[in-house]
Structure 1
C-alpha cells in the first residue's frame, strides 16, 4: 500500500536555477496532500506527473512567500482544469487575508468551495483526519509563527490467516468482526480465539515535515520514531551562528534531531542558494545519523511497511 513523498522543490528563499522553492506532495492509496506551495508548484506537479485533481488538502507551514506564493496560480489552474470538489487549506493565521485580494482582483470565481483553517500550534495538535491518515501540527522555531506537520497512517485491521479460514470453514460474514478482534464460534459452539485466526497488521507509517526552524531539542518529542523525517538544513555547520540568527538549521543539527528522535530516515532540504552541490550536507549529517539524505527535486521517497526502506527516485 502506497505511502510516499515527492519533493517538488528543495531550495531556500533566494531563487536558484538548480532547485525550486519548497513543496512536498504526499500520497497514500486514497489521500493526496500538498505540503507548502512555493512559486511554480503547479508546474512542478505536472513535471512529476502528479496532476492537481485529487489533492483535497494543502498544509502551509508559515507565511513567508517562498512557502505559499504558488497558491494563487495553483488555485486558478485547478479552476481552469474544471475542479469542482472542495479544497481545504491549513496554515497559521493570516493566509486568507493575503490570498483573498488576489482572487478578487483576478475576478475569476473559483468553481469549488475553498476552506481555510487557521492553526497556530504550541504543542502537538490534531488538525485533520482523512480516510486513512491523521494530520497533526506542532510548533517550529522561526522568525514568525511556523507549524510543522505530522502525517500518520491510521492503524489497520488485523490480517486473516488464509489457512484458518479454510480449516474452520469461516463464512465471509464473520470475517469483518474477526479482523476487528472478535473470536469465532463455529456451528458446534466451539470458540476459536482471535489470535489463532489473525496476524497483527504492520505498524502505522509516518512522515514529519519540519520546514524553516532553528534547532531546538524539544522538537524531538513531536517527531519521535517517525519513519520519514524531512528537516530543513539551510546551511552547513560552519554557518551555525547565521543559521540560528535567521531561524534556520544546519545539516548537523538536523541529524542531531533525527538521531535523538530515533527516526527511520532523514531527508534534508531548504538549501541556501549558495550551495550548488549538497553532498557536503549529506557528509555532515551522516557523521551523526548515517541514514541521512540531501533531497533532490522530483525524487520520490517511499516508506514501506515495517519500516524503513531506501529512498526511491521518481519513475
Structure 2
C-alpha cells in the first residue's frame, strides 16, 4: 500500500504548499482522494500516471478539497481519455462540475459518472474483487465524509516445496490458491493446509478530513493499519478548532489511541505555525506512532 501526498495544508495554496489531495495505490488501484487546487500539477511533479486514475473521492464541498477537479477533468479530455471516470462526493458535486462544462462548452469525450453521497451512516460506495471502499461520516460545517479503503483477503500462498513433493500438476495451482483440497490420481486427498500458507494480511487505510473531534468514527476505523486524520490546529487554538469544526493534533491522537490504529498520519495544517514539527510533538504526548504528511511525501506500508 503506497500513499503519495500531493497537498496537505489547509485553506489556500501558497508557492510552497498545496491544499488537500493524495493518491492511494492499493492492490494496483490508483485512487485520488480530494482534489484541491493544483492537484494536476502535483500529479505531474510526482510522476503519477493520469491514465491510471479511474476513481476520485471528494470529502466535502469546501474549495480547498475540490477546486482542482474541473481542471483535472478538462485535462483528461485534452489528453484523449476514453476510460470512464467515477467521481464520488456530496450531493451537488455533479451540478457544480456539469455547470462549468456546459458554460465553457467543454464536454468530455469519456463517460463522467457521478456517485453523489447523502447518507449520514457509513455505507459501501465502491467494491471490486480486490478492494472495498466505505464512507466515514464526519462532523464539519458542511456535509463531509472520510473514506475507508480496505483490501480484501487475497488467495492463499502456494507452498512450492509441498506441491512438488506431491508431484501436483501446475494446472491445479489456481484451485489450490483458492483454498481447495486436491484429489490425486491414486485416490489420496491432499488437504489444502498441507499445500499452502495463509494469505498476506489485508491492509486498510482511513482518510479523515475535515472534522471536529468526533468519537462516532471510532467503530468504523477500529484497528486500521493507517489513519490520516486532520490536525488543523495545535492545542493552544482548541477554541478556534471548535468554532471552525476542525481538530487539533492532540485530538487526532486521541482518536488514534481510542481506535487502536497502527499508524497515525497528520495533515491539513494551518499555515499560521512556523513548523509542522510542533504537530507531531503534541500528538506524541497521546499516541506514539505519529508521522507527518507533507507535500510530495510518499509512504509505503
TM-score by length of 2: 0.97
Could you tell me which residue of structure 2 aligns to residue 309 of structure 1?
A: none
Aligned counterpart for 2:213 among listed residues 197, 212, 215: 215
Distance 2:35 2:274 in 1: 22
- SS of the equivalent of 2:4 reads strand
Q: Which residue in 2 is equivalent to 1:137? A: 135
Q: Is the 8 A contact 1:6 1:298 kept in 2?
A: yes
Does 2:270 match 1:272?
yes
Kindly indicate whether residue 25 of structure 2 is the aligned counterpart of residue 30 of structure 1.
no
Moved more, 26-35 or 64-73: 26-35
**CA–CA separation in structure 1 for the residues paired with 2:40 and 2:274:** 24
Q: Greater shift after overlay, 221-230 or 176-185?
A: 176-185
Within the candidate set 120, 125, 139, 1:127 is matched to 125
1:28 Cα deviation after fit:
2.9
Q: Deviations over 1:261-281 (max 9, x none)?
A: 111111111111212311010
> How far is the alpha carbon of 1:257 from its aligned partner?
0.7
Counterparts of 1:123-272 in structure 2, within 5 Å, are 123-272=121-270
Q: Deviations over 1:144-188 (max 9, x none)?
A: 110110111111010110111111011122222222221122111
Q: How does 1:60-99 map to 2 (within 5 A)?
A: 60-99=58-97
Asked whether 1:15 is paired with 2:32, we answer no
**What is the alpha-carbon distance in structure 1 between the residues aligned to residue 119 and residue 158 of structure 2?**
40
Q: Deviations over 1:53-91 (max 9, x none)?
A: 110000000011111110111111111111111100000
Provide the rounded CA distance (Å) in 2 between the counterparts of 1:29 and 1:132.
7
Aligned match of 2:296: 298
What is the CA RMSD across the aligned residues, in angstroms? Answer: 1.2
Structure 1, residues 172-208: CA drift from partner, whole Å, max 9, x if none? 2222222222112211111121111111011110111
Is the contact between residue 27 and residue 151 of structure 2 (CA under 8 Å) also seen in structure 1?
no
Aligned to 1:313: none
Q: Distance in 2 between matches of 1:277 and 1:183?
A: 58
Q: Please state how far the C-alpha of 1:29 moved relative to its aligned partner.
A: 4.6
Query: Which of 100, 109, 112 is residue 111 of structure 1 equivalent to?
Result: 109
- 2:46 pairs with one of 42, 48, 55: 48
Q: CA–CA distance in 1 between the matches of 2:54 and 2:13?
A: 28
TM-score, normalised on structure 1?
0.93
Which digits, 9 at most, give the CA deviation of each residue in 1:265-302, with x for residues without a partner? 11111111212311010000111111112211111111
Determine the C-alpha separation between the residues in 2 that align with 1:18 and 1:284: 24
- Partners of 1:29 and 1:168 in 2: how far apart? 32
**CA distance, structure 2, for counterparts of residue 277 and residue 82 of structure 1:** 42
Aligned equivalents of 1:44, 1:285: Cα separation in 2: 28
1:212-271 CA deviation, whole Å, 9 max, x = no partner?
Answer: 000011211111111111100000011111101111000001011111111111111111
Shift of 1:15: 3.4
Distance in 1 (CA, whole Å) between partners of 2:156 and 2:120 is: 35
C-alpha change, 1:51 and 1:173, in structure 2 (3 Å) is: closer
Shift of 1:112: 0.6
In structure 1, the gaps of 5 or more residues are 304-315
- The 3-state SS of whatever aligns with 1:62 is coil
